[in-house]
């Protein structure tokens, strides 16, 4: 039996697969030893920083607890309201003025019709906003012409937040005035009281109400800073007699009212001078006397009625190049006042083909004119039906003609 055991052990030993010998561990290089040392040092540094931050936070917490005790009953007690006396008389007057006038101011939103980029559908997109004020109980709303210029549709929002579609009644680009009309809102309308701009004085208080940056019914106060200013209007003609104010006027205030301390309309806010586009304390308003003269004409005729002579004038640059001092007549409207008194236009000689210069207007009612702007400004001081004297220079000869002014309704 022992022999059998030995033989089995021998066979088992012969069948056993020898185990691979574990290779000896490689010794780290000097670079690896330095890297391991750096990693250990960085770990110790991070640990030290965490301990320092934790210690500092604990000390700050303890210091705060000592200076401001937590859960203090005294700090949890609400502060009492300090009573005040009556409002100042100026504050009361300003509050009363706003209460009496704000419902007469409206917010205007203009829309433009655009075609959808991926279809043929027409879309109405907002174009801009402005202000306006109620003129009468018929639904007429006054604003600046530049507020609605170029828009396809305008909507008016009243003080009760009702929105109404408006149609354009008429406009005067010359004086930056437009009249819109809404229908069906007669019971909601509160027209503003109309004042005058003839007796305004520098230094008197004014109030502007409007929608600067879309913030409706915003009130700003100031004084009249200057009178008789001029700002550029349509066609290069200045709007004269403009009121300057330091009341805050910003984009969105255009078309809103400028009121005196009695709550009367004395101007329509229309422009600012500002490098940034925001209020810089220099705002301008069209005087109410101009508004009161033009608005009834826009309501009745859709346009401003202006006196005309019935002439078409040459450009000032052309007249200067020719070397003439005055306003050259290019054409005369047949049947016009100028045609009736024999004013000659610039024309071509049928025989020679040479250009014959027309009459040169040198003065109106004895006041010299040197440009188209001067002539139109002087002409605006008259009314259709007035008789004026016109100084003419024809072929070097001076003559004076009298003509009766007509109006522009027939043009």
Q: 75-98 burial, b for 16+ CB within 10 Å, e for fewer? A: eeeeeeeeeeeeeeeeeeebeebb
Q: Indicate which residue of 140, 146, 171, 220 is catalytic.
A: 146
Residue 276 falls in the annotated catalytic set: no
Instruction: Find out whether 364 and 379 touch, Cβ atoms under 8 Å.
Output: yes
> Exposed (0-12), middle (13-18) or buried (19+): which is 30, by Cβ within 10 Å?
exposed
Residue 161 falls in the annotated catalytic set: no
Pair of tokens at residue 161: 């937040």
> 164 has which bridge partners?
156
Pair of tokens at residue 227: 């009178």
Distance CA 246, CA 316 (A): 36
Please list, in sequence order, all residues whose beta carbon lies within 8 angstroms of the beta carbon of residue 152, skipping any fewer than 6 positions away: 111, 112, 113, 124
Instruction: Find out whether 347 and 361 touch, Cβ atoms under 8 Å.
Output: no
Maximum separation of any 2 CA atoms in the chain, in Å: 164
Q: Indicate which residue of 140, 176, 260, 359 is catalytic.
A: 176
Q: How many residues comprise the chain?
A: 411
Pair of tokens at residue 153: 């549709």
Structural element, H or E, at residue 367: strand 367-368
Measured CA angle at 144 (ends 142, 148), to 5 deg: 100
Distance CA 147, CA 341 (A): 42
Tell me, what DSSP letter sits at residue 217? S
Phi, psi of 138 (to 5 degrees): -85, 0
Half-sphere exposure of 299 (CA within 13 A, CB side): 16
> Exposed (0-12), middle (13-18) or buried (19+): which is 300, by Cβ within 10 Å?
exposed
Q: Indicate which residue of 104, 197, 211, 254 is catalytic.
A: 254
CA 322 to chain centre: 42
User: How do 238-245 and 283-287 pair as beta strands?
Assistant: antiparallel
Pair of tokens at residue 193: 């009281």
Give catalytic residues, as residue numbers: 146, 176, 254
């Amino acid at each position: 039996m022992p022999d059998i055991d030995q033989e089995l052990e021998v066979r088992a030993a012969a069948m056993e697969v020898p185990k691979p010998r574990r290779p000896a561990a490689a010794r780290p290089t000097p670079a690896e030893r330095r890297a391991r040392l750096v990693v250990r040092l960085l770990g110790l540094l991070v640990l030290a920083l965490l301990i320092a931050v934790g210690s500092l936070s604990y000390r700050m917490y303890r210091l705060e607890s000592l200076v401001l005790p937590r859960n203090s009953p005294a700090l949890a007690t609400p502060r009492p309201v300090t009573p005040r006396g009556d409002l100042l008389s100026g504050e009361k007057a300003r509050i009363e003025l706003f209460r009496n006038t704000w419902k007469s101011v409206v917010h205007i939103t203009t829309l433009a019709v655009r075609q959808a980029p991926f279809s043929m559908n027409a879309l109405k997109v907002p174009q801009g906003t402005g202000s306006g004020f109620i003129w009468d109980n018929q639904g007429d709303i006054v604003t600046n012409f530049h507020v609605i210029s170029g828009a396809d549709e305008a909507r008016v929002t009243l003080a009760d937040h009702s929105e109404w579609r408006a149609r354009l009644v008429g406009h005067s680009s010359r004086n930056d005035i437009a009249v819109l009309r809404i229908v069906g809102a007669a019971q909601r309308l509160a027209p503003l009281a109309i004042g005058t701009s003839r007796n305004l004085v520098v230094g008197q208080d004014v109030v502007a109400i409007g929608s600067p940056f879309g913030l409706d019914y915003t009130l700003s106060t100031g004084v009249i800073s200057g009178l008789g200013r001029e700002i550029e209007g349509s066609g290069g003609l200045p709007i004269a007699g403009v009121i300057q104010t330091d009341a805050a006027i910003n984009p969105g205030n255009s078309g809103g009212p400028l009121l005196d301390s009695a709550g009367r309309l004395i101007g329509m806010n229309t422009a600012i001078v500002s490098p940034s586009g925001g209020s810089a304390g220099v705002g301008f308003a069209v005087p109410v006397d101009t508004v009161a003269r033009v608005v009834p004409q826009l309501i009745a005729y859709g346009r401003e009625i202006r006196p005309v002579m019935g002439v078409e004038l040459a450009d000032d640059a052309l007249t200067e190049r020719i070397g003439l001092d005055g306003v050259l007549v290019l054409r005369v409207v047949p049947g016009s006042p100028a045609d009736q008194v024999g004013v000659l236009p610039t024309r071509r000689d049928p025989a020679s083909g040479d250009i014959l210069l027309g009459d040169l207007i040198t003065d109106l009612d004895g006041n010299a004119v040197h440009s188209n702007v001067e002539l139109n400004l002087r002409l605006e001081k008259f009314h259709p039906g007035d008789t004026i004297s016109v100084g003419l220079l024809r072929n070097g000869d001076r003559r004076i003609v009298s003509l009766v002014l007509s109006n522009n309704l027939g043009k």
